[in-house]
């Protein structure tokens, strides 16, 4: 487990195989689920969404190569439709 400025980083994998590449617990207690993809056409798995629900993640983040990010820089929001929020102007 790595700590930095009061945050805590880890990973998550359930016995059923649902997983999150990085779980970031922020100083205020919020949990961010981060999926890391190397492909230029990233797909987020159902297991990522299930694990995010189990952990109560406040944010779902997809990290990808810059070439893919230029077309799809987003935070995946909890919910059925996985609405995306553009981060290009939000200071991230």
CB proximity list for 65: less than 8 A, separation 6 or greater:
37, 38, 39, 40
What is the average pLDDT across 23-31? 94
According to the CATH classification, is domain 2-86 in 3.40.50? no
Structure confidence at residue 32 as a pLDDT band (50, 70, 90): very high
Q: What is the pLDDT of residue 12?
A: 96
Among candidates 25, 91, 36, 88, which has minimal Cα distance to 59? 25
pLDDT digits 0-9 by tens, 40-62: 778 899 999 999 999 999 999 99
Q: What is the token pair recorded at 62?
A: 């997809």
DSSP conformational letter for 84: E
Which sequence spans correspond to the domains of the chain?
A: 2-86
Residue 91 reports pLDDT greater than 50: no
| Max Cα-Cα span within the chain | 38
Q: What is the pLDDT of residue 31?
A: 96
Q: What is the pLDDT of residue 64?
A: 83
């Amino acid at each position: 487990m790595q700590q930095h400025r009061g945050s805590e980083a880890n990973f998550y994998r359930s016995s059923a195989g649902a997983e999150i590449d990085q779980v970031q617990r922020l100083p205020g207690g919020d949990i961010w689920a981060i999926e890391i993809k190397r492909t230029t056409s990233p797909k987020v798995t159902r297991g990522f969404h299930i694990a995010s629900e189990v952990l109560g993640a406040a944010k779902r983040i997809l990290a990808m190569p810059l070439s893919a990010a230029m077309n799809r820089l987003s935070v995946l929001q909890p919910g059925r439709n996985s609405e995306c929020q553009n981060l290009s102007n939000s200071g991230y």
